[in-house]
Structure 1
Amino acid sequence: MRAWLVLLPVVAITLIGIPLQWLSVALQLPTRRTIPVLYHRILLALIGVRVTVVGAPAEVRPLMILSNHVSWLDIPVLGSRLPLCFVAKSEVSRWPGIGLLAKLQRTIFVDRASRTATGKVAGEMAARMNGGDAVVLFAEGTSSDGNRVLPFRSALVGAARQAVGSEAGAAIQPLAIAYVGQGGISLGRARRPLVAWYGDMDLAPHLMTVLRRGAIDVELHFGSVVEPGERKKATQAAAQSVRLMLATALTGRPR
């Protein structure tokens, strides 16, 4: 019953927001950045997701945020904090409903099967960053169970930094997303996959489970901007920072 009581107002808010955001994007209005933030905040309040921020998004621009990826919830959690653009696989654009919302969020889609995709996506990322938007790249390339950080991929990182045009390239800020509790109880390693969405999990059942349970506590840990340098070294430095921040968040102890 709770899932449906949450889903109905979510649908109502979405139907109101879609034409407003479509008009904002079409006319390039400033509200194209602020409407998604407000929408995600309302969405999280309805679902029952509490976000704690440790550190702060860097103010420097152009900015690329390299983050781990745990669940579809990552999108509203991050989207509720600041105006930004996401990079997602092209399949997402074809998902019913979600594809439309992703496009209105001004998501940059990458076709992994195309050999020329990296250059095209890098150009789009650079255009957004040069325009003042922070771009979030889930550098693992997939989602995990939330207990670990998978290896970061550096191809898009290097290409996008080169495409920016400035001598130093875009600044890179590490970000760790940690789902730490549900219903006031620590999730722990065994229960964290109740919130994480990864592997071959079906989206609809997982979505309804999250709506039914609610009361999720998530922490966002923003790290220091990594030193500019060769793409692989910069990506590895960001990945190491994310691992340390995630370990701190999940254990409650600094590493």
Structure 2
Amino acid sequence: MEVFLKRLSQHRDKLSQLEKQVMEYILENPERIAHSNLKDLSRELFVSTATISRTCKQLGYDGFQDLKYTLSKYMTREREEEMTTSPNGLSSHIHRVKKELELTLQQIDEKQMMKAAQYIKESNYVEFFGVGASLPVCVDAARKLTFSGKICNAREDWDELRSVANSMGENDLAILVSYSGETLHILEFSNILKERKVKTIALVGRKNSRLKEEVDLTFHAYITSCYDGELDMSSRFPLAVLLDFIILTYLNKL
């Protein structure tokens, strides 16, 4: 939940004073927002429903219902994560990691792997898009693909990634990596890439995500949320494994 609210606050600078008031109320009262309707919220804040809807769009959502739906999902995940927070003993972590790998491997579709490899083969250029904890996974994959002879890159700066997305074309390939599939920056980049008709592959850690709806091809890694206090210890290695298999399939095609 804290990560979700921090992402909302990142949009503060582009909001009007009235929109900032709406956002602050959302940040301070997420539980209330999840159980409110637009008209009740409008009366409570003394602003129009149009102002609330406009604020939600400025925060990266289609409207109030879209933001409310995403917020509810995060709250559900938080309750689930509380059940898996700080499990006792190393053996429980070993079991978790083993289960993640086994279930990720079980879900691999060889035809999908071949299709992804074909996308790489046919592209002039490959860019990896990942932020936060997903970035190292992208950097590692880009290094391997570069050594294979493919022109590619993985960048850290969000503004640079946005610029790259706006410069890519139909003969390029974008590979987007996101544990939640709901990261606002990644969704922004995917929308730009879609408008520019760039081929896209997504690797996500959750089956139901908005990112899945925005790309041409999706791979799902099985990842279990794991927190120690507020420290996110959730693994990203299942995403790295999937990328390794895609690159190996591409090399075999060569």
Q: Same-fold call, TM > 0.5?
A: no
Structure with greater helix percent: 2
TM-score by length of 2: 0.30
Say which structure, 1 or 2, has more relative contact order (CA 8 Å, 6+ apart).
Answer: 1
TM-score by length of 1: 0.30
Structure with greater strand percent: 1
